[in-house]
Amino acid sequence: MNALVPLPVLLPLCVTGLKLAIGPRLHRLQRFISIAVLGAVLVLSVVLMVAADRHGPLSVHLGDFAPPVGITLVADRLAGLMLTVSSAVTLLVLVYSLGQGMADRDDQAPVGVFHPAYLILVAGVSCTFLAGDLVNLYVGFEIMLVASFVLLTIGGTATRIRAGSTYVIISLFSSVLFLVAIAMTYAVAGTVNLAQLSLRLQEVPLGVRTLLEAMLLTVFAIKAAVFPLAAWLPDSYPTAPAPVTAVFAGLLTKVGVYSMLRTQTLLFPGHRLGDLLMLAALASMVVGILGAVAQTDLKRVLSFTLISHIGYMVFGIALAGHGSISGAIVYVAHHITVQTTLFLVAGLIERRDGTTELTRLGGLAKAAPLLAVLFFVPAMNLAGIPPLSGFIGKLGLMRAGVDAGGGWAWALVAGSAATSLLTLYVMAKVWNLAFWRDAPPGAEEEGVVLESAEDDEPGDDEDDGEEGRASGPGRGTGPGRDAGAGSGAGAGLPVPAGAVVSEGFLGQSITTTKRLPWPMTAATGAAVALGLSYTVLGGPLTTFTQAAATELLARTPYIEAVLGR
C-alpha cells in the first residue's frame, strides 16, 4: 500500500509529457487522457485515505534513501482527506472547462497548453499534501506557481498579464522567504525532514524556534491570503477564465492553510504565536466580509468572502485544541468545495448574460431556475445555514472557542458569528440583485458578442476597420442589436464600473448564450451535490476529522511511520 503514495504526484507529471507531445492535435484524446488521469488520481486518493484511516500513516522513502537524505512522502488522515477533496474538485472543474470550450480551443495556441498546465497544477497540489519534508513542500509550491502563472495569463491579454504578474511577484517573494526559513531550519537542526524536525526543534533555543515559526507562518499566510497579506487576491483571481478562477479560489489558498496546520501541530506544538494567529483570524473574517459587502461584481464579492472565510480556518489552528483542529479540517474540506462551486456558477452567469456585475443582472430566478438553484444551495452553505456543512464546521469552531475561554477566544466566537450573519447578508444581496428582481433595461440578448474595454484604444472608433468590432467598452453586436449599441444600461448610456466582461479562454470575445453547454451545468450540479454530501455524511466526516485531529496533536503516529520508531 505504501507504494501507492507517490502516484498522485507522479501520474499527472508523467502524463503531462505525453500531452505535450500530442500538442494541439487529437482533441478528443487530450480530453480523454485528462479525465482518465484525474479520475485515477481521485481513486488513488480515496484508497490512501481509507488505508490511512485503517492502518495509520503511510510513508515511502523514494529511492529507498532514509531521512534526512531521501525524499519522504507521507499520507495520513489529513493528507488523504485533502487529496480526496482536491481530486474530486479538480476533476469537476476540468469537465466544466471542457464544456466551456476552453480545452477545445487549444488549436489556436502554439501548443496545447491548458491540459499540461492543469495536470502540473494537480501534481503540485498533491506534492504539497504528501510532502514529508520542507524542501519538497517548497517544490510543491513552486510547481503550483509555474502552472498557476500559465493558467492565470492564458490568452495573453493585458488584464491577465497584469494580474498574473502581481500574483507571481508576491509568490516569488514568499518563495524567497521560504528558502531562507528552510536554510535557517537546516542550520539549527541539521535536517528538513518534518518527523526529525518535530524531535530536534524541541532542543533549539526558544527564541530561534519562535523566529522559524514566525517565518514559516508568514510564508503560508501569504499563500493562504490571510489578512493583512491578502491584498493581492481580489485583483488576481477574477481576471482568469471561470474554471481557472474556481480551482484557484477553492483550492490553492487551502494549500497554505494545510501547511499552517501541518507545521503548527507537528513542529511547533504549544501555539506560542497563538494570540497573533487569533488576531489575524479575526481581522481576516471582519475585513474580508466588509470588503464583500462593498462590492457589486459577483467575482469580487466571492473573492472577498474567500479572504473572510480563511479566517475561520486560522481560528481553528490558533486555538490548537482537539475540537478546534477537527473543526478547521471540516471547514477546509467544506470551503474547497463550496467556494469552487460558487465561482463555477459565476462563470455560468457570465456565459449566459455576459457579465457578473450585479447592477446589470436580474430576473434569473424566473429565466433560469436551474441556475438559481445551483447558486442558492452553495450560497446558503457558505453562510452556514443549518444543517449544511458550513454550519457543522462553524459550530465546531465556535464550540471550541467557548471551551477554550479567554478574551481572544470569545472575540473570535463573536467575530465568527458576525461574519456568518454578514455572509448571509451578502448572499441575500446577490440573490436579490441577480435572481429575484426583474431584469434591468438593456440586458443582453442571446448571441451578443462582448469585448473587453482594453480592445478599444483612443481613436479606435474612427480608425478600426475590423468587421464586427465593438465601438465601446462592453459593447457588441448580436440579434436585435445595432453595431456599437451599449451593453450596459442601454444604448448610448455609460457602462457601469466593473461591467466589462472577462475575455474567453484565449482572450477572444464571449458570445452570450441562454443554452449553456450541458457539461458546464452538469459539473456545477455535481459540485453542488458534493457539497451536500458533507451534510449527509456529517457524522462520519466529523468522526474522521476528530481522529485526524487526535493523530495530528499526538504526533507520534506520524513520527513512527516516517522514522520507524
Residue 62 confidence (pLDDT)? 81
Residue 544 confidence (pLDDT)? 94
Residues paired with 72 in a beta bridge: 61
Could you give the angle at the alpha carbon of 323 between the alpha carbons of 321 and 325, nearest 5°? 65
pLDDT tens-digit series, residues 95-140 = 998 877 654 454 555 556 778 888 999 999 999 999 989 999 999 9
Residue 506 confidence (pLDDT)? 57
Residue 12 to residue 63: CA distance in whole angstroms: 20
> Which residues contact residue 104 at a Cβ distance below 8 angstroms, ignoring those fewer than 6 apart?
27, 98
With respect to residue 173, please indicate whether it lies within any of the assigned structural domains.
yes
Task: For the beta carbon of residue 173, count every other beta carbon within 10 angstroms.
Answer: 12
Is the predicted pLDDT of residue 217 greater than 70, yes or no?
yes
With respect to residue 445, please indicate whether it lies within any of the assigned structural domains.
no
Is the CB of residue 381 less than 8 Å from the CB of residue 363?
no
Cell numbers of 245, please?
A: 478562477
Residue 301 confidence class, pLDDT cut points 50, 70, 90: very high
> Which residues contact residue 169 at a Cβ distance below 8 angstroms, ignoring those fewer than 6 apart?
none
With respect to residue 252, please indicate whether it lies within any of the assigned structural domains.
yes
Total domains, the chain: 1
**Which residue from 166, 146, 272 is spatially nearest to 217, judged by alpha carbons?**
272
3-class SS shares of the chain: helix, strand, coil, % to 5 = 70, 5, 25
With respect to residue 372, please indicate whether it lies within any of the assigned structural domains.
yes
Measured distance between the N- and C-terminal CA atoms of the chain, rounded to whole angstroms: 19
With respect to residue 257, please indicate whether it lies within any of the assigned structural domains.
yes
Is the CB of residue 362 less than 8 Å from the CB of residue 431?
no
DSSP letters, 127-176, are: HHHHB-BHHHHHHHHHHHHHHHHHHHTTT--HHHHHHHHHHHHHHHHHHH
Residue 327 confidence class, pLDDT cut points 50, 70, 90: very high
Cell numbers of 4, please?
A: 501507492
Q: pTM for the full model?
A: 0.86
pLDDT tens-digit series, residues 376-397 = 999 999 998 988 888 998 999 9
CB-based burial label for 407 (10 Å; 0-12, 13-18, 19+): exposed
Cell numbers of 35, please?
A: 479525465
pLDDT tens-digit series, residues 154-199 = 766 677 777 777 888 888 899 999 999 999 999 998 899 999 999 9
Is the predicted pLDDT of residue 403 greater than 80, yes or no?
yes
With respect to residue 463, please indicate whether it lies within any of the assigned structural domains.
no
**Which of 471 and 271 is assigned the larger pLDDT?**
271
The pLDDT mean for the chain works out to: 82
Please give the helix or strand (H or E) that residue 58 lies within, else none: strand 58-62
Phi, psi of 491 (to 5 degrees): -60, 135
With respect to residue 449, please indicate whether it lies within any of the assigned structural domains.
no
Q: Which residues constitute the domain of residue 251? A: 2-438+517-556
Residue 448 confidence (pLDDT)? 57
Ranking 82-86, 282-286, 506-510 by mean pLDDT, the lowest is: 506-510
With respect to residue 238, please indicate whether it lies within any of the assigned structural domains.
yes
Q: What is the DSSP letter of 472?
A: S
Residue 352 confidence class, pLDDT cut points 50, 70, 90: confident
